[in-house]
Amino acid sequence: MGSDTKVTVYYGPLSWFETQLGNESRRYLLDALNERDEARRRIRHTVDGLESTEEETPAPRPDRLIAMSSDYASVHEHAITNFVGLVREINPKRLLLHNPPELIHTQLDRVFKTNVESFTYPVVTRDTLIKFRDGFEDHLVGQQRVRERMLAALYSLTTDRRAKPVVLMFYGPSGVGKTETAQLINGLLGGKLLRKQFSMFHSDKFASYVFGGTHSESSFARDLLDRSSGVILIDEFDKANSVFHSAFYEVFDEGVFEDKNYRVQLGPALIICTSNYGSEDEIRQALGDALYSRFDALIPFEPLSPDEIKQVIDRLVDVRFEALAPDERAALDSDETKSLLHARASSTGNVRKLGKLVDEVISLVLVRSMLSDAPNSSNATKTKDAA
């Protein structure tokens, strides 16, 4: 039973999988399992000497049984290891699986005729390079060498010869445009940027995330399968313990990432790792030759010069002014605000800190303006008492 079930496995983001499902009737795996378990819990009452006339009605055969990528975490381990038996029991006409664990796919391949559909991820084209070149200065101040190095690194992704990712290391001080550069190229390609901050993961939690734990735990491999972007940003790569470096050898070399539960083929994607390393020698010493040599390019980001800091401030003030209400803009002088900030932030080259400083100064001027128009409560009380 169930040998005629047609199985299709879909690899890609959830939004794309939803479009593949269309408007046909759906029955989800978890619903089917809950109904089965509920039926098993029913208690039958019989009377001695009387035959039961109640017949068990078999569940109707589902036309389409669907499993989402998040569903497998709710399925018991024994059901994962015997997924074929589960399918045979439910006996759907069609089985549609979204990003299943490798063990499930392997089982189904042995028993059923399995079709595979994969999402086509956005890729870098000549048009992408032109837009990146022409739009770089609108998004970042300075870093002209970064623009040229990026164009050279991205070129190989425009050729059909490239079948594996381009892997880049952005290094330099914080807040000078590393993450913004990754967001810029991702914005040109489309899709939601897959961004992981390695500083947020520690010890055992990080180990299960990278190497794979139980199938119910989150993992880097499953996040890679669920992504919609051709760009993968690994922030603060330098914060990861060196014990985890081996997990990236194959993905940097061949574009394949594999853990205990999933196997991901990335294809011609763009992997960007950011760090606060100060030089290539420092990167080599920290990561070791085995991982250091697997980067296609190491791109330095320079500290901002005093003139560039002023340019950043001017841009930030202009953006903040545009977002203000008309009465708020009337209470502020844009040029005066810029001059004040130039004096206060001449040595601050971190764009994030500059943004917070701009917000603080503008808010301070606005609140002073608002309070200067309000009557002084203590004076008002004295006037009332005198009357």
Three-state secondary structure readout of the chain:
CCCCCEEEEEECCHHHHHHHHCCCCCEEHHHHHHHHHHHHHCCCCCCCCCCCCCCCCCCCCCCEEEECCCHHHHCCHHHHHCHHHHHHHHCCCEEEEECCCHHHHHHHHHHCCEEEEECCCCCCCHHHHHHHHHHHHHHCCCCHHHHHHHHHHHHHHHCCCCCCCEEEEEECCCCCCHHHHHHHHHHHHCCCCEEEEHHHCCHHHHHHHHHCCCCCCCCHHHHHHHCCCCEEEEECHHHCCHHHHHHHHHHHHHCEEECCCCEEECCCCEEEEEECCCCHHHHHHHHCHHHHCCCCEEEECCCCCHHHHHHHHHHHHHHHHHHCCHHHHHCCCHHHHHHHHHHHCCCCCCHHHHHHHHHHHHHHHHHHHHHHHCCCHHHHHHHHHHC
- pLDDT digit string, tens, across residues 170-191: 999 988 889 999 999 999 999 9
Please, which pLDDT band fits residue 104 given cuts at 50, 70 and 90? very high
β pairing state of 94-98 and 6-11: parallel
pLDDT value at 90 more than 90? no
Per-residue pLDDT tens digits for 13-68: 999 999 999 888 888 888 888 877 776 666 555 566 665 555 556 667 888 999 99
Instruction: Report how far residue 259's alpha carbon sits from residue 238's, in angstroms, rounded to the nearest whole number.
Output: 21
Task: Give the range among 92-96, 100-104, 382-386 with minimum mean pLDDT.
Answer: 382-386
Task: Give the separation between CA 342 and CA 263, rounded to whole angstroms.
Answer: 51
Q: Is 367 exposed, middle or buried (0-12, 13-18, 19+ CB in 10 A)?
A: exposed
Question: What single-letter amino acid sits at 198?
Answer: F
Average pLDDT, the chain: 85
Beta bridge partners of 256: 265
Q: Which residues contact 11 (CB under 8 A, 6 or more apart)?
A: 99, 116, 117, 118, 119, 225
pLDDT of residue 382: 43
Q: Distance of alpha carbon 340 from its chain centroid, rounded?
A: 38
What pLDDT was estimated at residue 269? 94
Answer left, alpha or beta for residue 270, where phi above 0 means left and psi between -120 and 50 means alpha. beta
Token pair, residue 25, equals 């009737």
Mean pLDDT within 108-116? 90
pLDDT at 305 over 60: yes
- Which pLDDT score is estimated for 383? 35
The pTM score is 0.82
b/e code 336-364 from CB counts within 10 Å (16+ = b): ebbeebeeebeebbbbeebbebbeebbee
Q: Give 340 or 384, the one with higher predicted confidence.
A: 340
More confident residue, 170 or 341: 170
Say if residue 307's pLDDT is above 70. Answer: yes
Residue 387 banded pLDDT, cuts 50, 70, 90: very low
- Hey, what are 140's tokens? 């970042």
Across 277-286, 348-357, 369-378, the highest mean pLDDT is recorded for 277-286
pLDDT over threshold 80, residue 347 = no
Radius of gyration of the chain (CA): 29
Structure tokens, 62: 């589902």
Most trustworthy range by pLDDT among 231-245, 251-265, 354-368: 251-265
Instruction: Name the percent of the chain lying above pLDDT 90.
Output: 41
pLDDT over 90 at 223, yes or no: yes
Structure tokens at 278: 């100060």
From residue 45, give the alpha-carbon distance in Å to each of 20, 39, 48, 58, 361.
46, 15, 10, 19, 77
CA–CA dist 222, 210 (Å, integer): 10
Torsion of the alpha carbons at 284, 285, 286 and 289, rounded to the nearest 10: 50
Name 228's Cβ contacts closer than 8 Å, sequence gap at least 6: 12, 13, 15, 16, 119, 121, 191, 192
Among 217-221, 265-269, 337-341, the range with the most confident prediction by mean pLDDT is: 265-269
